């Protein structure tokens, strides 16, 4: 059986750049997956995620991606097609994740199948929150992500009986003691 991971990368301290971190927490709290998939908050770890890329057969990387398009636009890009999308111009976490692929190749290791499921941010600024545009597009982002999991990876998804909202998730990052 394939070992599958969803890896959220981004910085919750930089407004829309944290969307993937919120998405991983949203998936973790609201859904159950069969077969099991690991949901990982990679934050801004970048190159420190190298071991993850050696552990999994397939990694779906969630991120806010800087592409010249309308905020809230969603892209699903196979990792072998990442050049030319301007992802290297993003934050250190994006550069680090892309460097993981280069290092694995240099080590002669097999690259996991992977893709980036990204959403274009409206604003990167110092704040733990999302802009209104990203809030409006968040559930669409989640729905399209769930569609990829079911259609491309044959994952069965069930909604958990207790659901947590995006606002509640953002609040847990603002006030971790709660």
pLDDT reported for residue 104:
76
CB-CB contact of 95 with 88 (8 Å): yes
The total of other beta-carbon atoms located within 10 Å of residue 107's CB is 10
Measured CA distances, 152 to 43, 132, 166, 170 (Å): 25, 30, 26, 29
The total of other beta-carbon atoms located within 10 Å of residue 131's CB is 19
CB-CB contact of 116 with 77 (8 Å): yes
CATH number assigned to the domain covering 4-174: 3.40.50.1450
The larger pLDDT score, comparing residue 103 to residue 85, is at 103
CB-CB contact of 166 with 22 (8 Å): yes
User: Which one, of 86, 69, 85, lies nearest residue 120 by Cα?
Assistant: 69
pLDDT reported for residue 154:
94
Please state, in angstroms and rounded to a whole number, the distance separating the CA atoms of residues 26 and 42.
Answer: 15
Average pLDDT over residues 119-148: 96
- The residues spanned by each domain of the chain are 4-174
Average pLDDT over residues 60-87: 81
The larger pLDDT score, comparing residue 100 to residue 10, is at 10
**Is the predicted pLDDT of residue 111 greater than 90, yes or no?**
no
pLDDT in tens, 150-171: 999 999 999 999 999 999 999 9
Average pLDDT over residues 44-61: 81
pLDDT reported for residue 51:
80
pLDDT reported for residue 88:
42
């Amino acid at each position: 059986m394939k070992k599958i991971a969803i890896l959220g990368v981004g910085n919750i301290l930089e407004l829309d750049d944290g969307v993937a971190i919120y998405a991983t927490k949203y998936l973790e709290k609201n859904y159950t997956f069969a077969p099991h998939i690991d949901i990982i908050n990679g934050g801004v770890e970048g190159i420190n995620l190298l071991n993850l890329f050696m552990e999994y057969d397939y990694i779906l990387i969630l991120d806010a991606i800087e592409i010249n398009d309308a905020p809230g636009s969603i892209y699903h890009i196979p990792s072998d097609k990442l050049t030319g999308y301007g992802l290297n111009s993003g934050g250190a976490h994006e550069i680090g994740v892309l460097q993981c692929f280069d290092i694995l190749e240099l080590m002669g290791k097999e690259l996991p199948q992977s893709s980036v499921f990204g959403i274009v941010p409206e604003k990167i600024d110092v704040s733990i929150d999302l802009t209104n545009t990203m809030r409006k597009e968040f559930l669409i982002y989640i729905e399209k992500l769930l569609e990829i999991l079911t259609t491309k990876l044959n994952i069965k998804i069930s909604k958990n009986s207790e659901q947590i909202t995006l606002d509640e998730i953002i609040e847990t990052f603002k006030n971790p003691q709660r």
